[in-house]
Amino acid sequence: MTMTTNLTNQAHPALVLDVQDVHKHFTLHLRDGRTLPVLQRVSLQVHAGECVALVGASGQGKSTLMKCLYGSYGVGGGRMLVHTPDGTLDMATATPHQVLGLRRRDMAYVSQFLRAVPRVPAIDVVAERLLQADPRLSDVGATASDADWAEAAQAARARAAVLFARLNLPAALWELPPATFSGGEQQRVNIARGFIQPARLLLLDEPTASLDARNRRVVIELIEEAKAAGTAVVGIFHDEEVRDAVASRCIPMPTIGHDSQCTAAPATLQAALQPETLTP
Ligand SMILES: Nc1ncnc2c1ncn2[C@@H]1O[C@H](COP(=O)(O)OP(=O)(O)OP(=O)(O)O)[C@@H](O)[C@H]1O
């Protein structure tokens, strides 16, 4: 299917993510195969330009849902449709090849922890994301020359440097591998990698957990810029100040085993809650 909806149409923003009745349980193989239900009847929609915050108590499956949306975890049932100009992909049934293709250009994920390849400088960890997304370099049949690669790499490193400067990452660290960086420094590398390539769908799992107030404000700005550019954002923000600043809507995670109950959201969020978007 080909999408014809204009992302920049503010009156009718395009549907980007359509999660329908997703279920998931973990099988605990070291515990006699016991099953642990984690997600039950999760449904939500996210449109271009909005940020939907997942809320719920610790252990309710928010991070698990993020990993399912990103294609790292499989699901037991339901659909997770991601609409792009090239068509629609159901992450519940997508092949690894399709998942990698979507991640390359249309979907970004900022996880709580940086998993960088050892010995790669921080600036290249971030710049690489742009190179992967460049069709001249990465598409099947691409015929980029060494000079094209060098030019693209230089431009990507320059863009990474701009983001690092915005995120107040000391320049002395840019050429060092991030394995020994502090938690907050690693998180800023992760954020720069997540934001450097404009994405249609951006998944943020606690992006400000290790940051000071100044850098939290930068992340709020980056999220607002992404929304303005038409990115659909799904986020987990335990920091209520950040959540209140960026969330267009909050969606409570369904409570396992309670068919029609939603977990109560913090008082500051009650007004923003729209339970009708959830199928408990
Ligand atoms: N790989 C796994 N194998 C088995 N159980 C898991 C796995 N990952 C998560 N769980 C369990 O699934 C449940 C949901 O975990 P998850 O991390 O998604 O919760 P959360 O809502 O994001 O919590 P928090 O707000 O504390 O980060 C927890 O009970 C957790 O122990």
Taking CA atoms, 22 is separated from 81, 93, 118, 254, in Å, by: 11, 12, 35, 11
Q: Is residue 63 within 6 Å of ligand 1 at its C-beta?
A: yes
Does the pLDDT at position 97 exceed 50?
yes
Taking CA atoms, 237 is separated from 52, 86, 141, in Å, by: 10, 31, 41
Does the pLDDT at position 259 exceed 70?
no
Does the pLDDT at position 270 exceed 90?
no
What distance in Å separates the CA atoms of residue 224 and residue 40, rounded to the nearest whole number?
A: 31
- Which has more confidence, 62 or 8? 62
What distance in Å separates the CA atoms of residue 234 and residue 95, rounded to the nearest whole number?
A: 22
Compute the distance from residue 69 Cα to the ligand 1 centre, in Å: 15
**What interface predicted TM-score (ipTM) does this complex get?**
0.96
> What pLDDT is attached to residue 173?
97
> What pLDDT is attached to residue 194?
96
Residue in this structure with the two tokens 């610790």, named with its chain if needed? 58
Ordered by start, the domain boundaries in the chain are 13-106+202-280, 111-198
Pocket test for ligand 1, best of 29, 38, 238 (most atoms within 8 A of CB): 38
Residue range 66-94, pLDDT digits in tens: 999 999 999 999 999 999 998 999 999 99
Beta-carbon-side half-sphere exposure of residue 34 (alpha carbons within 13 Å): 5
> What pLDDT is attached to residue 261?
32
Q: Is residue 197 within 6 Å of ligand 1 at its C-beta?
A: no
> What pLDDT is attached to residue 241?
94
Q: Is residue 59 within 6 Å of ligand 1 at its C-beta?
A: yes
Compute the distance from residue 85 Cα to the ligand 1 centre, in Å: 33
Eight-class DSSP state of 209: T
Residue range 105-131, pLDDT digits in tens: 899 999 887 777 788 999 999 999 999
Determine what percent of the chain is predicted with pLDDT higher than 90: 69
Low-confidence winner among 42-46, 80-84, 125-129, 257-261 (lowest mean pLDDT):
257-261
Q: What is the DSSP string of 76-138?
A: SEEEEEEEETTEEEETTT--HHHHHHHHHHTEEEE-SS--PPTT--HHHHHHHHHHHH-HHHH
Low-confidence winner among 43-57, 112-126, 135-149, 177-191 (lowest mean pLDDT):
135-149
pTM for the full predicted model: 0.86
> What pLDDT is attached to residue 54?
97
> What pLDDT is attached to residue 11?
59
Supply the mean pLDDT for the chain.
Answer: 86
Residue nearest to atom 29 of ligand 1 (CA): 59
Burial 199-230 (b: 16+ CB within 10 A, else e): bbbbbbbbbbbbbeeebbebbbebbeebbeeb
What distance in Å separates the CA atoms of residue 134 and residue 44, rounded to the nearest whole number?
A: 31
> What pLDDT is attached to residue 135?
78
Average pLDDT over residues 233-255: 94
Does the pLDDT at position 49 exceed 60?
yes
> What pLDDT is attached to residue 112?
81
> What pLDDT is attached to residue 257?
59
What distance in Å separates the CA atoms of residue 46 and residue 31, rounded to the nearest whole number?
A: 37
Pocket test for ligand 1, best of 24, 28, 36 (most atoms within 8 A of CB): 36
Beta-carbon-side half-sphere exposure of residue 43 (alpha carbons within 13 Å): 11
> What pLDDT is attached to residue 129?
93
When pLDDT is cut at 50, 70 and 90, the band that residue 1 belongs to is: very low
What distance in Å separates the CA atoms of residue 199 and residue 181, rounded to the nearest whole number?
A: 26
Determine what percent of the chain is predicted with pLDDT higher than 70: 86
Residue nearest to atom 3 of ligand 1 (CA): 26
Architecture of domain 13-106+202-280: 3-Layer(aba) Sandwich (3.40)
Query: Which is nearest to 240 in space by CA: 218, 276, 265?
Result: 265
Task: For residue 164, report the phi and psi dihedrals to the nearest 5 degrees.
Answer: -60, -40
